[in-house]
C-alpha cells in the first residue's frame, strides 16, 4: 500500500490536509466524559454473572496528592483533612467487600495483575499502605506476591519506610513522576520539586530492590529546549530504569495551566513532535525498545513475571471513587470531575456510603458490538506490536478490521501512519510516524455517539 507523510501528497496527487498531532491521550475507551448516570443502577452481581473471572485486573485508586501539578486533570485532591485517609480506606474496605460478594463464590476469581494509582498512593502512611494491601489481598483475594503489582509514587512520598512496605508486600514496579530533572522546567509545569530530591527518591527506590523502576518525563514545557530535554533524558538513563514514559504536555481546562487550554498552536505542536522524536531516538539508541507512543522498556530488563491479562478482552475491577471497572457490556465508575470543589464533594460522598451502596453501578456507558470492536482496535493498534488480525476475526465473528474500519485504516495508510495493510496482512502495525501520531489516531476511531457524549459533557 502506498503511503505518504502526514501532510504530503495523496497517492492520486491530492494534498492531505494537516492533522493536529496532539488531540487526546486515549488510555481508555470510552473516556469517562462519555459516561452518564445509570438510571437503573444495575446490580454488580448481575453485571458480572456471565463474565470470565480467571484473569482480571485489580486497580485501587487513592485520590490524594501532596501538591497538584499544573498540567494534572486527574481525579485527585491536595492533602487530606485529619482522619480523611482513614475514612477513605474504611470506605474502600466496604466497597471491596461488596464487590467481592458480587463476583460470586461459586466460581474461582483470579487477578492476573494489580495496580495502585491515583492521585499518589504513597501519600498514605506506611501503616495505611499495609492496610491497602490487606484490602487487595484479604478482601479481594489478589495474590500480590504472585502477580505484577505496579504502584505510582512522587519524589516527596517515595520514602524508605513506604517503599519497604511495598517491597515486602510484592510490588514489582514503582513509577516515579519526575517530569523534568531541570528545576526551572519543573516550576514552569507547576511541579514544585528540586532535582536533588528527585535523585534522592530514585536512590531509595533502587535501595528497596523493587524489580522495575519507571520514570515519567514530559516534553513541551515552557522554556524546554532540545538541550535541556536531552539532559533530563540522560539524568533518567543514569539510573538505568527498566521503563521510561515520555508524555507530551497537555494543557486542559480546570487545571493550573488551563488558561491556555483549547488554543490550537501549530508551533507548539511542532516543538512537541521534535522533542518526541528526539527522545524516542535517544532512548532507542541507549537500548530501549518502544512499546507504544509513550512507553519504552529497556531491552535487557528482566521479565516482570506472569501476566496473562489482556486489556482488549479481559475485565477490570476498580476500587475507589476515581476508579473505573470494565465488563464486556458496561464500563462503570463513580461521578467524574476535575475541579477541586467537585472532587472534594465526590470524595466526601464516597466515604459516607454504607456498604450496600457499593453493590450497584451508578455511572457508566454501555458497550455494544460496535464499541467493543472500536475498543479492541484502539487498545491494539496504539501498541507497537499492533493488532493480530486472526485474533480480531476470532473475537468478532470472522470479520476483518478492514471490514469494520476500512475508511479509517485507509486514511491512516495514506498519511504514512500504517504499515502494509493488504488483505493477507496478519498484523496491523503503525509506522514510527503512526506511533508519533497516536493522539490523533485514537480520536479518529471514536464512535459518533461517544464523540457527541464527550462534547456534551459539562466540565466540573
Domains and CATH numbers, the chain: 32-298 (3.30.750.200), 369-453 (1.10.10.920)
Residues with Cβ within 8 Å of 120's Cβ and at least 6 positions away in sequence, in order, are: 62, 64, 65, 66, 76, 152, 153, 154, 157
Residues with Cβ within 8 Å of 328's Cβ and at least 6 positions away in sequence, in order, are: 51, 315, 367, 372
Neighbour tally for 290: CB within 10 Å: 17
Query: Is residue 240 left, alpha or beta, with left meaning phi > 0 and alpha meaning psi from -120 to 50?
Result: left
State how beta strands 149-153 and 111-118 pair: parallel
Give me the pLDDT at residue 303, please.
Answer: 81
H/E stretch holding 103 reads: helix 84-103
Residues with Cβ within 8 Å of 180's Cβ and at least 6 positions away in sequence, in order, are: 186, 189, 191, 217, 218, 221, 224, 228, 232
* Residue ranges of E strands in 76-232: 77-78, 111-118, 149-153, 173-179, 212-219
Give me the pLDDT at residue 9, please.
Answer: 43
Give me the pLDDT at residue 309, please.
Answer: 62
d(CA 241, CA 231): 15
Residues with Cβ within 8 Å of 229's Cβ and at least 6 positions away in sequence, in order, are: 219, 275, 278, 279
Give me the pLDDT at residue 3, please.
Answer: 32
Beta bridge partners of 295: 245
Give me the pLDDT at residue 6, please.
Answer: 43
Give, as one character, the DSSP assignment of residue 58: E
Among 381, 374, 387, residue whose Cα is nearest residue 449: 374
Residues with Cβ within 8 Å of 268's Cβ and at least 6 positions away in sequence, in order, are: 220
Give, as one character, the DSSP assignment of residue 16: P
pLDDT digits (tens, 9 = 90+) for 227-284: 999 999 999 999 999 999 999 998 755 444 444 545 568 999 999 999 999 999 999 9
Give, as one character, the DSSP assignment of residue 199: H
Neighbour tally for 1: CB within 10 Å: 13
Give me the pLDDT at residue 64, please.
Answer: 84
Residues of the chain with confidence (pLDDT) below 70: 1-15, 67-77, 79, 190, 252-264, 305-309, 421
Among 427, 353, 355, residue whose Cα is nearest residue 391: 427
d(CA 413, CA 415): 5
Beta bridge partners of 406: none
Cell of 341: 470543589
Amino acid at each position: 500500500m502506498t503511503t505518504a507523510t502526514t501532510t504530503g501528497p495523496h497517492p492520486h496527487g491530492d494534498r492531505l490536509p494537516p492533522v493536529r498531532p496532539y488531540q487526546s491521550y486515549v488510555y481508555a475507551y470510552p473516556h469517562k466524559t462519555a459516561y452518564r448516570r445509570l438510571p437503573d443502577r444495575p446490580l454488580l452481581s448481575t453485571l458480572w454473572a456471565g463474565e470470565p473471572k480467571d484473569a482480571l485486573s485489580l486497580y485501587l485508586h487513592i485520590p490524594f496528592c501532596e501538591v497538584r501539578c499544573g498540567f494534572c486533570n486527574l481525579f485527585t485532591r491536595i492533602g487530606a483533612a485529619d482522619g480523611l485517609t482513614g475514612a477513605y480506606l474504611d470506605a474502600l474496605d466496604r466497597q471491596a467487600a461488596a464487590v467481592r460478594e458480587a463476583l460470586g463464590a461459586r466460581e474461582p476469581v483470579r487477578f492476573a495483575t494489580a495496580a495502585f494509582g491515583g492521585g499518589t498512593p504513597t501519600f498514605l502512611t506506611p501503616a495505611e499502605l499495609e492496610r491497602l494491601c490487606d484490602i487487595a489481598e484479604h478482601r479481594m483475594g489478589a495474590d500480590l506476591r504472585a502477580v505484577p503489582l505496579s504502584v505510582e509514587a512522587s519524589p516527596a512520598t517515595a520514602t524508605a519506610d513506604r517503599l519497604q512496605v511495598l517491597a515486602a508486600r510484592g510490588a514489582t514496579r514503582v513509577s516515579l513522576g519526575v517530569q523534568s530533572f531541570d528545576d526551572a522546567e519543573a516550576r514552569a509545569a507547576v511541579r514544585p520539586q528540586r532535582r536533588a530530591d528527585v535523585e534522592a527518591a530514585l536512590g531509595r527506590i533502587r535501595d528497596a530492590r523493587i524489580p522495575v523502576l519507571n520514570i515519567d518525563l514530559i516534553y513541551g514545557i515552557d522554556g524546554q529546549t532540545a538541550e535541556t530535554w536531552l539532559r533530563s533524558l540522560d539524568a533518567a538513563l543514569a539510573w538505568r530504569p527498566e521503563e521510561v514514559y515520555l508524555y507530551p504536555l497537555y494543557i486542559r481546562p480546570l487545571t493550573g495551566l488551563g488558561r491556555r487550554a483549547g488554543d490550537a498552536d501549530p508551533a507548539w505542536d511542532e516543538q512537541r513532535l521534535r522533542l518526541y522524536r528526539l527522545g524516542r531516538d535517544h532512548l532507542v539508541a541507549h537500548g530501549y525498545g518502544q512499546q507504544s507512543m509513550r512507553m519504552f522498556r529497556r531491552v535487557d530488563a528482566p521479565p516482570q513475571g506472569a501476566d496473562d491479562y489482556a486489556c482488549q478482552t479481559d475485565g477490570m475491577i476498580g476500587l475507589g471513587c476515581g476508579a473505573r471497572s470494565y465488563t464486556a457490556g458496561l464500563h462503570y465508575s463513580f461521578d467524574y470531575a476535575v475541579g477541586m470543589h467537585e472532587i472534594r464533594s465526590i470524595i466526601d460522598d464516597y466515604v459516607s456510603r454504607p456498604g450496600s451502596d457499593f453493590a450497584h453501578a451508578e455511572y457508566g456507558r454501555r458497550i455494544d458490538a460496535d464499541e467493543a470492536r472500536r475498543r479492541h482496535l484502539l487498545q491494539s493498534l496504539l501498541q507497537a506490536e499492533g493488532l493480530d488480525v486472526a485474533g480480531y476475526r476470532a473475537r468478532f465473528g470472522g470479520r476483518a478490521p478492514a471490514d469494520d474500519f476500512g475508511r479509517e485504516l485507509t486514511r491512516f495508510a495514506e498519511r504514512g501512519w500504517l504499515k502494509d495493510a493488504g488483505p493477507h496482512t496478519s498484523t496491523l502495525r503503525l509506522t514510527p510516524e503512526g506511533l508519533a501520531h497516536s493522539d490523533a489516531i485514537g480520536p479518529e476511531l471514536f464512535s459518533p455517539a461517544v464523540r457527541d457524549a464527550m462534547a456534551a459533557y459539562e466540565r466540573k
